Structure 1
Amino acid sequence: MESQERRTAQRIQLSAVVNIRIDDQLFAAGTDLRDISLDGINVNIDKALPINRICDLEILICGPSSELTLRTKGRVLRQDANGAAVKFTELDIDTYLHLKNIVLYHRSPERS
């Protein structure tokens, strides 16, 4: 049986690292980002994250000549052998605009 796609926002592949902090405890330092959207992220992580907990996210995007750090909050939705999904719960205007531009720039041409 096929599972129904529930995502409403387009996800893109992006090379970045993520730091995840819950209640001042660092759960992930330099974790690889699997994909990102305007709604949230999916990260490669082996350490168990508490489900439904609010976390502080720091997303570090490094290019050949610049670096961008996005800081926001999210809620851990689920975790499995492939990683963890975190939904954004707060996006300030600057972070939202950066994410929107990143997603627009990296989206596949067939979905334009």
Structure 2
Amino acid sequence: MTHEERRKNTRVVFHTTATVHFAGEVFERLAIGDLSLRGVYLAGISGRRQGEKCEVALFLTGTSSELKLNMAGKVVRQDDKGVGIHFEEIDIDTFFHLKNIVYYNANDPDQVENELTENIPEGSFVE
């Protein structure tokens, strides 16, 4: 993800866990570094290739239930602490959950609304 793309998307700190499935390897209970409508930074993963495809599941735990958000993505950056994953496919319900997470955790919620109207997320919505 380029610096320009990063500036277009509000990123928030959101405390939950994620699981990532790469071809032949699964990483569970990963900490989220930051989250946006278009991607996530996950700590605790190394040795991945840029462009490598994956399936991401974020787990939202409430007082009485757990919700799992599923997205398809690819690795766009890596450092010594983790990887940045860009979401390429996301179902509409998951997108609206992500929008609410980012909106309610953002320093400037109006900016999140502007991002939605000015920059429709790339990728595919799936059913």
Q: TM-score, normalised by structure 1?
A: 0.85
Q: Cα RMSD between the aligned structures?
A: 1.9
- The corresponding residue for 1:20 is 20
Matching residue of 1:68? 67
TM superposition shift of 1:67: 2.5
Query: 1:103 — aligned with what?
Result: 102
> Pairwise mapping of residues 1-112 of structure 1 onto structure 2 (< 5 A)?
4-7=3-6, 8-26=8-26, 28-108=27-107, 110=108, 112=110
In 2, the alpha carbon distance for the partners of 1:66 and 1:107 equals: 24
Structure 2: tracts of 5 or more residues without a match? 111-127
Runs of 4+ in 1 over 6 A off after TM superposition: none
Q: Percent identity?
A: 31
Q: Structure 1 82/5 Cα, relative in aligned 2: closer, same or farther at 3 Å?
A: farther
CA distance in 2, matches of 1:44, 1:81: 9
Alpha-carbon contact 1:74-1:90 (below 8 Å) kept: yes
Q: Could you report, residue by residue, the CA deviation over 1:43-83 in whole angstroms, capped at 9, with x for unpaired residues?
A: 11143222211101111122444422101100101110132
User: How many positions carry a matched residue from both structures?
Assistant: 108
Whether the aligned pair in 2 keeps the contact of 1:9 and 1:39 (CA below 8 Å) is yes
